[in-house]
Amino acid sequence: MKVHYFYCREHGHFHDLQLYAMMEEDVFRKGEKEKRFTYVETLKIFINKNMERSHTAFFKIDFGKDSCSAHWAKSRKELYKAFSDDCGHEFKPITQAQYLRLRKVAFAIYQRETCMNFDLVKKKQDYTVNVIF
């Protein structure tokens, strides 16, 4: 069994990082040997860097030793192609050491932006919204 690691990082006025760890297993289906790729860990973080205009943060981590969530790919070639063509995101394969370093960075960013500061939230609406049905 082998673990494949992928990452995607978007730049701009925000932090947007996605990490995936996929476990490769050999399975037999109808007497034929093929590969199965299960999600061992997925980590997604999005934080707006322009805090003066808006404050937006999203952090999600999903992991499991015996995960039942699998990718549809049946070979390494299909898996790598699927991650390189994923909805306009450019996922790149990385090593385990790089994966662990990026995960550590994501947690550090999250700890810096853990919760909403409610003092920054407007308490009074200064505009009118008209709803027409």
Containing 111, the helix (H) or strand (E) segment is helix 96-112
Percent of the chain with pLDDT over 70: 82
- Which one has a higher pLDDT value, 67 or 86? 67
Mean pLDDT (the chain) is 81
Residue 11: pLDDT band (50, 70, 90) is low
The answer to whether residue 28 scores a pLDDT higher than 80 is: yes
Surface-to-core class of residue 43, CB atoms within 10 Å of its CB (0-12 exposed, 13-18 middle, 19+ buried): buried
- What pLDDT is recorded for position 88? 59
Residue of 43, 49, 40 lying closest to 15 (CA atoms):
49
- The pLDDT, as a whole number, for residue 107 is 86
Highest mean pLDDT among 12-21, 90-99, 115-124: 90-99
Task: Find all residues with CB under 8 Å of 38, minimum gap 6, and list them.
Answer: 22, 23, 25, 67, 68, 69, 70, 71
Task: Give the predicted TM-score (pTM) of the model.
Answer: 0.75
